[in-house]
């Protein structure tokens, strides 16, 4: 069964510093996708970045980059130059086939990031 | 602008009553999903639908029901059989097998 583990319930970072949010995953399927979402207090899930299991390079989207280490089954999110608006819950998720062939998203428990001035 | 609309944002119901949460999308996505989120936990899949008039149970379907009569709409009914219905419910849609999932802004259901 697929599983996502986020071991940091909360993280603190000062404005303009970089921060790494950890994510490890478990799947036996060779084809999968990894996602990071941001959830502000308003509740909506905002897509940040995606990494496919066959992608050769680490994904980057503006201030977000994904440190993909396939052998270690880790997909850590790096936020550079943190801003106050980055304070939110962050979820790592994996898309992989279920036993019915349906590609479902499995989420971790999230990390709450607080950015201080 | 294309997106997903969930209504209402807050919903209060008495214990034992059925309640229906609305989810409408204008993205022309074939697949739609319902997730439940409890404090300190990630999202868990309740039901999903890959095409009109077809839907499948997710990981925690007991006490819930859905319908998919139109491509744009995927309402979720929380029945009296659901033991702990108080939670935050998120609807999402996607093009099947793509990585573009779009989420609604959620409905917070409180049962008193």
Rounded mean pLDDT, B27-44 = 92
Q: Are A40 and A33 in contact (CB under 8 A)?
A: no
Which among B60, B27, B101 has a CA at the least distance from the CA of A33? B101
Cα separation of A95 and A63, whole Å? 23
Cα separation of B30 and B38, whole Å? 27
Does residue B96 sit at the A interface (CB-CB below 8 Å)? Answer: yes
Instruction: From chain A, pick out residues whose CB is under 8 angstroms from the CB of B41.
Output: 109-110
For residue B108, name the pLDDT band (cuts at 50, 70, 90): very high
Quote the pLDDT of residue A99.
Answer: 66
Quote the pLDDT of residue A100.
Answer: 65
Phi/psi for B14 (5° steps) reads: -80, 150
Cα separation of B91 and A40, whole Å? 16
The two structure tokens encoding residue B63: 């006490």
**Locus of tokens 């089954």:** A73
CB-based burial label for A35 (10 Å; 0-12, 13-18, 19+):
buried
Q: Are B96 and A103 a contacting pair at CB < 8 A?
A: yes
Q: Write the pLDDT tens digit of every residue in B50-77.
A: 899 999 999 999 999 999 999 999 999 9
């Amino acid at each position: 069964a697929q599983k996502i583990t986020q071991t940091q319930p909360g993280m603190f970072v000062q404005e303009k510093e970089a921060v790494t949010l950890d994510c490890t995953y478990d799947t036996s399927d060779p084809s999968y996708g990894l996602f990071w979402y941001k959830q502000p207090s308003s509740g909506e899930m905002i897509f940040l970045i995606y990494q496919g299991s066959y992608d050769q390079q680490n994904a980057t989207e503006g201030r977000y980059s994904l440190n993909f280490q396939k052998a270690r089954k880790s997909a850590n999110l790096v936020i550079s130059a943190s801003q106050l608006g980055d304070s939110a819950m962050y979820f790592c998720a994996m898309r992989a086939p279920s036993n019915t062939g349906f590609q479902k998203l499995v989420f971790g428990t999230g990390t709450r990031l607080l950015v201080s001035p | 602008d294309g997106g997903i609309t969930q209504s209402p944002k807050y919903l209060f119901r008495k214990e034992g009553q059925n309640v229906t949460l609305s989810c409408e999308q204008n993205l022309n996505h074939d697949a739609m999903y319902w997730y439940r989120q409890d404090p300190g936990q990630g999202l868990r899949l309740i039901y999903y639908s890959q095409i009109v008039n077809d839907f499948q149970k997710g990981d925690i379907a007991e006490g819930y029901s859905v319908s998919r009569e139109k491509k744009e709409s995927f309402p979720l009914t929380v029945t009296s059989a659901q033991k702990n219905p108080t939670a935050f419910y998120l609807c999402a849609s996607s093009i099947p097998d793509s990585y573009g999932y779009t989420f609604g802004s959620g409905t917070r259901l409180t049962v008193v």
